[in-house]
A and B are shown apart, each in its own frame.
Chain A
Amino acid sequence: MRDRLTTSMRASHVLALIFVVAALCLAAFGAATGDTFYLRLGTEALIFAGLALSVDLLLGYSGALSLGQALYFGIGAYVSALTLMKVPSFWLAMGAAFLVTLAAAIIGGLIANRVRGVYFALITFGLAQVFAKVVYNTRELGASDGMIGVPVIQIGLGPFSVSAASPAGFFLVVLGIIMGLYALTAYLLDTPFGRVLTALKANEKRVPFLGYSVWRARMAAYVFAGLVAGLSGALYPMLRGFVSPELMFFATSGNAVISVILGGVGTLIGAIYGSVLLVILKSIIGSWTEHHLIVIGLLFMACVMFLPKGMVGFVRPRIERLLGREPAAPEPAPPSSATIKSGSAA
């Protein structure tokens, strides 16, 4: 028997597949028509989708609302920018961003995971604001002006090389990385570790009685979410050629939370859909009226009132039902998840 969590994750994967196909069509169409702006806007939406994914990992699984996830996004962006200005190497920048975000997320996790609930939200918010202010006032990091002059790099992928300036090429690279992060997160949540996280959200007090350390699971989720945000952030300066302290401000963290709620909390793919929708809406409505914040706010309220589980939360049960009909046949489920299921279902 397949458990409910696996079925819903499968439904998310179907939506992820639809997303990738749509994105590939867009890339092909954009490349054919020689478009630059929309492909680069799409790339930016994907980068912010990575940040939203990390928020959903915390909010949707361990149940911790982080209001300062832009902290790690910004650290990734700054480290990547600083590295690229010294050595224009894609892999070096990603590696450096990975290591520094890892260290930062461990420190941040040690501080933030001492508390939970609303205090966790406030601590993460405070950490990000403090760090953003420090960067805002540090001349060596460009202070309030940020840093420009991040070179356009060549990304070496085995025998191929893609320029970050090529709209379609870089779009595909970012699509690959973000969907890779999605797949990794989804895989991790399907392991026993992921089930502990789900248990944490359901009833934190009972988890120790089952023999699991609450602190260790929360910490691991926090550090992993930090890394997802940091690696997404590392892509930003490659796209736009600069970093600024605004990337760490609350507006960035807040947009990520809005994306997750629009898309559907705890669905992972919803974070990606939500983020893309938000970036596109902001771009279109922003050109149309200067009261775009009101429009976005109303949409957000309508979503919370009428689609409390978000867009994906609305669509997914239907897909689950479709998927649920299939496995009446003898179950040839992938072996990797089969072992896990027998463990957690016991």
Chain B
Amino acid sequence: MDSSEPSPSGEPDDRPVVPAQRSDQDAYLRVRDLRVRFDTEDGVVRAVDGVSFAVERGRTLGIVGESGSGKSVTSLAILGLHDPKRTTITGEISVGGRQVVGLGDEEVRRLRGRDMAMIFQDPLSALHPYYTVGRQIAEAYRVHHPKANRREARQRAVDMLDRVGIPQPARRFDQYPHEFSGGMRQRAMIAMSLVNDPALLIADEPTTALDVTVQAQILDLLADLQAEFNSAIILITHDLGVVGQVADDVLVMYGGRAVERGSVEQVLRAPQHPYTWGLLSSVPSLHGDADADLVPIPGNPPSLINLPPGCAFHPRCRYADRAGSRSRTEVPELRPAGEGDSAGHLVACHLSAEERATFYAEDIASVGVAR
């Protein structure tokens, strides 16, 4: 391990002061300095490299980033779904007060599906093609309710199908996933994940595989269910538009690290990291000019085996030179972005608050011209 990095078990006091995001101690899910590494033939992949966040019940955290930014790996680590032989996970993951990292297979299995559940991107491939939708939901119920008989499990599954807005749930129970439409399949997937009333729900790109009109319905449904079940939700997406719609807090990830964190208002109104600026200008605006050009972020996401030294974003950052050679030698730490309104807003950037303000204004202006 690189000796310059803080040790995974390091106490909060040997790192920069990170203001608690609301009251971290009460949060249902607490992740601190999470590191996930895979041993591959090509080398060690640092998929997640020191990420911390917390989610309370009733709130939604949006994790945003390109593919390979570490957002999905983070969620799989929370559920303990990585192959322990090839994966090294360090740091803390606390779910409802229980430490998941280092917990035995069997103990994590008991938590999975009961206290924490997951919705996957493509419901067609995430549901088993050979079993009826209802049977799969009932199965999820019976794993954690071994005393429930077949009829009770069926009733529970039908109720859940009904709850997520599937018409004729009793008839739909006996149908196969391929007989469902894409939106209905994702609803069924949500019904399955909520069948045990979990306190934590992780939704990994839940709307990416769906039609735009269906996307909005699914997001609304998630918001409704959250109000009803008071669950903590992690919404993983590459789409800041989706985040703006449903999330309370945002975590922006790049190259396995957190580059910006804050409330939705803070991050979307006053984004601090040049990478976030790039993400924002690559989102089509519903209210803006329909002919406006979308500005892609130049370059490609970095290789997680061989991250660029210093700030991992510097090869794609047009302001990297302004920060001097530090951008290529020193990994920027996640620090408070400013004071006042920006309390709790964190950014990992070598630029000073003033520089960021100036460059962001320039950035908007240049995008504005393109639009």
Same complex for A and B? Answer: no
B interface residues (Cβ-Cβ under 8 A, vs A):
none
